[in-house]
Amino acid sequence: MSLDRAALLAWYRRERRDLPWRRTRDPYAIWLSETMLQQTRVETVIPYYQRFLEHFPDVAALASADLEEVYAHWAGLGYYSRARNLHAAARRVVERFAGRLPHDAQELRSLPGVGRYTAGAVASIAFDRPEPVVDGNVERVLARALGIREDLRRPDTTRRLWAEAAALAAGPAPGDLNQGLMELGATVCTPRAPRCEACPLARGCDARAAGDAETLPRKPRRAPPRAARAVAGLVLRRGRLLAVRRPPGGLLGGLWELPGGEPGRGEPLERALARALREGVGLEVDDLEPAGALEHVFTHRRLRLHLYRCRSVRGRVRLDGFDRHRWVSPAEAPSVSQSALMRRALSLAWPAGGRA
């Protein structure tokens, strides 16, 4: 069964949402939007995208910036490895491609953080190359329209999805075609209650004919997030709060946070924090006062963070496992590049730099 390519293109050009990255053919702006849209809702991305472009209007501006500055303008968007890879990729574009994003999908995939999907999206949308894209929305559209009822995580099913997407992209306006597939999945062929009556592919849709659209696509269920605990301390000297920076790489790499760590099995929380501060920043603390707790869900982990105010602190900072430290004033705290979890922690335990 083949999909009605012309009907999809006509529908997209008539019904597409007016999004800021659809008003440009600038490869850098398109690349930025595709990076920000990974695992993040369109409504969330729009203001970040606009502010980021204002501050870093081109590849050269991004490449010449300090990573700390990039993090500061990404703060709150989450998945900070995207910002780190974007910055590293911009520097590579300047060094290897004279500051211009390559047209070729294979060369695009040589950039940090650029996988098959992003390379296909940039190549097709910015450079009109017949490259396929397959994301969650495209998977859903293709699985339903073509009646693919096998587990989408099977290698042979993945290969079929990419082959079907490649066949669709091999024609006029591959960028619009790819965006049409993604737009259809986002607005019509939704996970629940798909609006089949509004779909340009409804006439030939296998799942609609079979009446099982909402059961597709088929994927294995994800394991629930693993429960975990951590402790963190508010260490103050002369009204300034101690912040430490994680080394680059890994979860929340390169971001600033309160010093702390994870308790051992059966280890009391206050004892765990005292140990973590001694081992991680070289400080001895006594007289810990609970300052609240909060929960934060990462992809595979549900973390409960317990916060303590440290009343008695001795020693000089000596780092182990962190790459920098700084004493942050209340005025500086909002501008320090930090995760959403740390912003919540400061709001709870150190509101407006209050008493700690």
How far is 119 from 36, CA to CA, in rounded Å? 14
Q: Assess contact for 306 and 229: CB atoms under 8 A.
A: yes
How far is 264 from 286, CA to CA, in rounded Å? 19
* The 3-state secondary structure of 62-73, one letter per residue: HHHCCHHHHHHH
Place of tokens 């790489």: 249
Distances (CA, A) of 106 to 56, 135, 292, 318: 25, 18, 49, 45
| β strands within the chain, DSSP E | 226-234, 236-237, 240-245, 256-257, 260-261, 284-297, 301-314, 324-328
Q: Which residues fall within 8 angstroms of residue 126, CB to CB, at 6 or more apart?
A: 25, 26, 27, 30, 31, 101, 175
Q: Which residues fall within 8 angstroms of residue 272, CB to CB, at 6 or more apart?
A: 231, 261, 262, 263, 264
What are residue 94's phi and psi, to 5 degrees? -65, -45
Q: Which residues fall within 8 angstroms of residue 24, CB to CB, at 6 or more apart?
A: 30
Secondary structure of the chain: what % helix, strand, coil (to 5)? 45, 15, 35
Q: Assess contact for 105 and 130: CB atoms under 8 A.
A: no
Place of tokens 């587990």: 151
Q: Assess contact for 76 and 93: CB atoms under 8 A.
A: no
Please give the positions annotated as active site. 34
Six token digits for residue 279: 């081992």
Q: Report which secondary-structure segment, H or E, holds 55.
A: helix 42-55
